Structure 1
């Protein structure tokens, strides 16, 4: 088999002759010898930024046992440990060996790690009987250890992360996974792992004193001399395997980066399959996990056999899962495991090895697709969406805007009648909630209070106020926004509760589906064609109304269309040009700087006056990018305006650049819509020198002139990096008229006007509203007016969760209900 599933590549002992001779010469072969200690120190420095400490052990299972046993000190009355059923046997064995009974819990359907809701439920049920939680970083993926730190404090329990496959993984901040973790994180160095040696383990923790106690426990509990003061066993890493680990440190970055590139290509080639949602910037992949379509699960062994015939290794990891293995079935407490059962039955793992190439990935992907195509598909039950059913409304998109619409309707008492009239939600992701919001490395431009008010859309029994995600947001009340990673976690949890509420009311939620197009029907209404992403199976729904909550993007055409100082940015700047969306994502700054000169201050030009432009400036300044004075230039057309809660507050702050048309007649806010808020506002008020403030000397502002703007041309020509921040345009769904012709929207017309009018109705290129089609969300272009307020001078689009969760969402919901009721009246007549 020329592409085996696992092909170990540990460092070659045959090339380490001099180092092996040095070990022989020293006469030290074990007992925390100099090679093992050097490996621990260099692993701490290279993998964890020199923060905390590491202790090397003979294998990761012993590491789990030591860490758990230490966590139970003072907690001997605790008898249970929560861990996922979807993990390797070593996790449960380690718990049992230290006297704990594993409680096998279900996993999350997205990242396949322990489900947070299950943890909360089990902690509430078993209380002080729970001594530890053992989350598993599934297949080298990341997880949110900060939430576990909060659980440990809240419930006084031990947490040990089983990160067996994660040595070499990078977190959202581009640090080694686990960096700064206050409890032990246990890694494996087995030959089959990405960090391949032969056998061995590594325990990392921020608490250096804790690491020293684990070191003593790994040496029979000897803290000093040869008298045991702690529970112990022999778990020391010998000098020769430590030498292999030390050598692997020099390779791991290149190995993990190469494997990540292979995985990224797999994701592109296997987009039609269900894949694990990545957590963190870079997992340390041992192999590529894929879920087969449910209809093909019974044919998994045949598919593996076909791949083997093609010279390709494949397997099924954690299948059977722990609860299906006889020993654990007889000795553990087992919770309902619907997600674990489904994932384990469909799991297929594909090769990702150091020697593979992108062409090899293509070969594996082609072979898998062909093997699946040749298998007979068994009939399966469809979701509760009878094709003959006519829905009152079909909502396309369950991200922040789509979920906000559901929440707005719930707040206003409109969700029950909407669901009764027939409400279907179609979302391409596995769940509704945050969409891609959590992937951005910036703070929100909405306050923590704004996000938390969404909870009032839920019945009391479903609210999130006591959950960790809500408490994480409350910590930012009164602050300059909330990190979007925390916002994403909150909105995902809120989405799960809204989905539950929708289901309780009889609505239909189709996750894992994407809409292909929608066609106008004679007599009103729309036919929506969608496909299931897992296997491409088509489904068709009919609805009286259609809501587009499909988000926005930054099209590359803007770079060619938009002229700055007389030329397009793509023509002037070439490969020095990126878009702000890429910069604002996790790892975006690091990726942008990777190809830039080093050893001297950089010059960066930001083009645009939108929130994304100013936020990009904030991100670059906070990231500590080496900049000369004035090295970050913000080139903008319109004046930069800060928000103020009143005219009096603006004047008291020394800001006078506003008139009557800049004040919202409803709220009295100055620049209610056009003004920057939170972090962006702080940057602007300092840069403008309002109230005598001093701006950051690294930032300069330049108001763009016409085609002859020589200053702008020079700033762009001299910049090492140019960031285009031209805002967002809508991801509009292809709409087709009754005759089968594409309907051109105003948002796609040459003038690029707003997608919606003041009633949130989607309009065509002539400015006429389409019958029964509404839009909400990023780049929809809605501008509040009348009772909704807003300054008369505002020119632009208003995007904000508050609007979506309240006035805008309720305005759309009321129109959906009116159309459904009118259609019902026509049918009765």
Structure 2
């Protein structure tokens, strides 16, 4: 077979004679000898930037065994479960069992094929402290989010050991060797079949050098400094000859990984009609190319492999059967439902990627596979096109942000132009409109009058102001906002009318679909892949532009990352901590009551100075909780500022704490963007005592001063409940460049910034606009400027339905229509 699936290519011993002679001369053949230690130092420097340390072991399975045993030392004896994906190699589960743990097999993610985060969270909630460790697998060398696992370790007090068997040579999202800086063990294989091909061997990397030394002792029978075991141990040491081979391989691994990545990119181009793994990070040390056959062809997989072999091409399956299907593990493991894993394992086909292959070889494999599939019954490998032409725009998300773009088009009389240019909106829900907005039991920070201006986006005869949902909004004219459940009903009805209008003009709305990713094509288009939630069917749409309107969330990792008075809230507050999103949503007060002590006055601290923080205080004050004076403490970083319609109005009210930079030059509003409005404003102006007002005695405020803020520490330590109100971050859609690599966005970077720039274009981690990609909605981070107004002093993000339905929506609309008309280079935009 001239193109085998795997062609091991370890360094040749015949070319390492000098090194072999040196080993013979030294008389040291194992026991952490000089070659092994030299290799450990070299790989730490070259692949992990000199961070932490590495331990070379006899094989990766032994590495997993000692890492898991050490990570769970001292835990309660009732903690015996090791949460891991069912879609992994048998060694992962076997190592856990040899370490005294019972594998808890969980489903995988349908896109990157790694352990499913939703399944993880559910199982952590269901099994609690019975889970001793999580053992994620970096599937086929693909990068996974190690920061998230560091947070899970802290949040749930679980051990983490990463199975990165195929990842030596892979690069993370920062371009570093995958695993760099991990605070827990990351275990790699150096087996002959891997990209980092030796003969047999493994490697453990960790940022904690002391942990590596403990693992070194465990790999040497548990000896620490003498031949007397002080730790559980086994013989897992890497022999000197194997270390010599590994040292030689290290010199070539970057070139080899880059070559294999280039082959994989060619596969991605040629096999785009198949389902492929969503890549993460900057490079994947490809052991082979994995593709999923269409469901209609899964039963023909053995025949496909046989037909490929007949033309000299090796192919096979991986993790099929998966762990949950293997007899030993079916008896010895706890197995969660595995629908995604079942499907992926049934359809998985792996194709050759070897060191000596060329791009022409990839073409040969791809051509052969496509031709074979075309001869089989019911073969259908191409996604059915939505249209027979390229769309102008695909909007991802049909909530308040996405429908706001349709509103802006309707108000500008350009909905017809938008639809005619080719338009599709994709949304998870059964209908577009309010998204989750109606699920919050608070009032809006926009007035009833503002909401009702959306009627101007609708043609005569389709206005909804006089319908029940519109009348329910009108009841609150002149009041301090509108209850969000009423706003949600109104926006759902508005979405229904806009949906009907759009479809009648030739546009498309795909409900019940979840977008997986959008990839930039070589010719400057966007290929957006969506999955039908009901049955997993997929569809791909090509467009000139995409608009990401996926809303915002409050990521839990921020609770561990952001420090308040010198310490993260997770470390200081533990299980006394909730996020403001939970409090503000339906059932939030009930959730708070369940966590508070009974029979005495309670103390609550709210951390944050955003609208959600002040709104949280408003809701708690309304809840008839047993509060003494100062029972609710609002800890904020920046001064609390109220909105005023003009400087004269502010002065007339006795408020003077503003300057020229705090006044919008277009509207004349004071703190137009940074000021609190409506109900939140009322609480702030009373709390500040403006105009002689008297604040609620149950509320105290404290402006944070730094790491040594003793007052903040005292308020947080004494609080029965701490509400984190750090604001929202965007649900950023995975964007992929034309080479199949993840585009790192500014909102996801190490120093996070707004998702969009001042033209609503999505920005990458270098602040450069991603061509043809725009963002709108909660947490997108757009800040009005120029003719759009806003005070010069504003810092933060501007969110508001009126803004999205008017100025922001129009800004995006003009750009995407210009691109569709060919009047604008899609790599730049004009104001």
Q: TM-score range by the shorter chain?
A: 0.5 to 0.7
What is residue 760 of structure 1 aligned with on the other side? none
Please report how far the alpha carbon of residue 269 of structure 1 lies from its aligned counterpart in structure 2 after TM superposition: 1.2
1:662 aligns with 2:642: no
What is residue 618 of structure 1 aligned with on the other side? none
Q: Is the contact made by 2:530 and 2:540 (CA closer than 8 Å) also made in structure 1?
A: no
Paired with 1:459 and 1:779, the residues of 2 have a C-alpha distance of 21
Paired with 2:73 and 2:215, the residues of 1 have a C-alpha distance of 12
1:68 aligns with 2:48: no
Q: 1:810 to 1:11 in 2, by over 3 A?
A: same
Corresponding residue SS for 1:551: strand
Please report how far the alpha carbon of residue 265 of structure 1 lies from its aligned counterpart in structure 2 after TM superposition: 1.2
1:164 aligns with 2:161: no
Corresponding residue SS for 2:546: coil
Corresponding residue SS for 1:662: coil
Q: Is the contact made by 1:291 and 1:343 (CA closer than 8 Å) also made in structure 2?
A: yes
RMSD (CA atoms): 4.9
Q: Is the contact made by 2:114 and 2:139 (CA closer than 8 Å) also made in structure 1?
A: yes
Q: Deviations over 1:419-439 (max 9, x none)?
A: xxxxxx9679xx979xxxxxx
Paired with 1:61 and 1:349, the residues of 2 have a C-alpha distance of 23
Q: Is the contact made by 1:267 and 1:275 (CA closer than 8 Å) also made in structure 2?
A: yes
Paired with 1:164 and 1:120, the residues of 2 have a C-alpha distance of 24
Match of 1:550 among 535, 546, 549: 546
Structure 1: gaps of 5 or more residues: 388-393, 410-424, 434-453, 462-497, 516-528, 542-546, 553-643, 673-724, 732-774, 781-787, 814-829
Structure 2: gaps of 5 or more residues: 407-422, 442-491, 497-509, 520-526, 549-641, 651-655, 676-755, 763-771, 778-782, 791-795, 810-831
Please report how far the alpha carbon of residue 729 of structure 1 lies from its aligned counterpart in structure 2 after TM superposition: 10
Q: Deviations over 1:775-807 (max 9, x none)?
A: 995499xxxxxxx99864779xxxx98658675
Equivalences for 1:446-465 in 2 at 5 Å?
A: 457=437, 459=439
Paired with 2:195 and 2:282, the residues of 1 have a C-alpha distance of 16
Q: Is the contact made by 1:664 and 1:789 (CA closer than 8 Å) also made in structure 2?
A: no
Paired with 1:215 and 1:102, the residues of 2 have a C-alpha distance of 25
Corresponding residue SS for 1:281: coil
What is residue 225 of structure 1 aligned with on the other side? 226
Q: Is the contact made by 2:514 and 2:531 (CA closer than 8 Å) also made in structure 1?
A: no
Paired with 2:540 and 2:184, the residues of 1 have a C-alpha distance of 50
Paired with 1:220 and 1:427, the residues of 2 have a C-alpha distance of 61
1:509 aligns with 2:513: yes
Q: 1:726 to 1:217 in 2, by over 3 A?
A: closer
What is residue 18 of structure 1 aligned with on the other side? 18
What is residue 360 of structure 2 aligned with on the other side? 359
Q: 1:405 to 1:95 in 2, by over 3 A?
A: same
Equivalences for 1:329-344 in 2 at 5 Å?
A: 329-344=330-345
1:264 aligns with 2:260: no
Q: Deviations over 1:379-419 (max 9, x none)?
A: 99x99x999xxxxxx9974536878437999xxxxxxxxxx
Equivalences for 1:624-773 in 2 at 5 Å?
A: 662-665=665-668, 668-669=671-672
Q: 1:379 to 1:178 in 2, by over 3 A?
A: closer
Q: Is the contact made by 2:758 and 2:784 (CA closer than 8 Å) also made in structure 1?
A: no
Please report how far the alpha carbon of residue 510 of structure 1 lies from its aligned counterpart in structure 2 after TM superposition: 6.2
Q: 1:295 to 1:510 in 2, by over 3 A?
A: farther
Equivalences for 1:108-187 in 2 at 5 Å?
A: 108-187=109-188
Q: Is the contact made by 1:401 and 1:777 (CA closer than 8 Å) also made in structure 2?
A: no
Paired with 1:176 and 1:149, the residues of 2 have a C-alpha distance of 17
Paired with 2:17 and 2:359, the residues of 1 have a C-alpha distance of 34
Match of 2:396 among 396, 399, 407: 399
Q: Is the contact made by 2:788 and 2:807 (CA closer than 8 Å) also made in structure 1?
A: no
Corresponding residue SS for 1:290: strand
Q: 1:114 to 1:669 in 2, by over 3 A?
A: same
1:345 aligns with 2:341: no
Paired with 1:513 and 1:148, the residues of 2 have a C-alpha distance of 23
Please report how far the alpha carbon of residue 270 of structure 1 lies from its aligned counterpart in structure 2 after TM superposition: 1.2
Paired with 2:400 and 2:338, the residues of 1 have a C-alpha distance of 27
Paired with 2:369 and 2:759, the residues of 1 have a C-alpha distance of 37
Q: Is the contact made by 2:30 and 2:238 (CA closer than 8 Å) also made in structure 1?
A: yes
Please report how far the alpha carbon of residue 308 of structure 1 lies from its aligned counterpart in structure 2 after TM superposition: 1.2
Paired with 1:24 and 1:94, the residues of 2 have a C-alpha distance of 33
TM-score normalised by L of structure 2: 0.54
What is residue 88 of structure 2 aligned with on the other side? 87
Paired with 1:98 and 1:187, the residues of 2 have a C-alpha distance of 18
Q: Deviations over 1:641-681 (max 9, x none)?
A: xxx999999xx99997x999833355654999xxxxxxxxx
Please report how far the alpha carbon of residue 41 of structure 1 lies from its aligned counterpart in structure 2 after TM superposition: 0.6
TM-score normalised by L of structure 1: 0.54
Equivalences for 1:276-295 in 2 at 5 Å?
A: 276-295=277-296
What is residue 815 of structure 2 aligned with on the other side? none
Corresponding residue SS for 1:103: strand
Paired with 2:114 and 2:29, the residues of 1 have a C-alpha distance of 38
Q: Is the contact made by 1:513 and 1:531 (CA closer than 8 Å) also made in structure 2?
A: yes
Q: Is the contact made by 2:165 and 2:187 (CA closer than 8 Å) also made in structure 1?
A: yes
Please report how far the alpha carbon of residue 362 of structure 1 lies from its aligned counterpart in structure 2 after TM superposition: 1.1
Paired with 2:798 and 2:86, the residues of 1 have a C-alpha distance of 39
Paired with 2:403 and 2:120, the residues of 1 have a C-alpha distance of 27
Q: Is the contact made by 1:105 and 1:335 (CA closer than 8 Å) also made in structure 2?
A: yes
Paired with 1:241 and 1:318, the residues of 2 have a C-alpha distance of 27
Q: Is the contact made by 1:663 and 1:669 (CA closer than 8 Å) also made in structure 2?
A: no
Q: Is the contact made by 2:664 and 2:671 (CA closer than 8 Å) also made in structure 1?
A: no
Corresponding residue SS for 2:24: helix
Paired with 2:209 and 2:424, the residues of 1 have a C-alpha distance of 49
1:32 aligns with 2:21: no
Please report how far the alpha carbon of residue 335 of structure 1 lies from its aligned counterpart in structure 2 after TM superposition: 0.6
What is residue 49 of structure 1 aligned with on the other side? 49
Q: Is the contact made by 1:803 and 1:809 (CA closer than 8 Å) also made in structure 2?
A: no
Q: Is the contact made by 1:408 and 1:805 (CA closer than 8 Å) also made in structure 2?
A: no
Please report how far the alpha carbon of residue 283 of structure 1 lies from its aligned counterpart in structure 2 after TM superposition: 1.0
Paired with 1:513 and 1:156, the residues of 2 have a C-alpha distance of 33
Q: Is the contact made by 2:784 and 2:798 (CA closer than 8 Å) also made in structure 1?
A: no
Corresponding residue SS for 1:550: strand
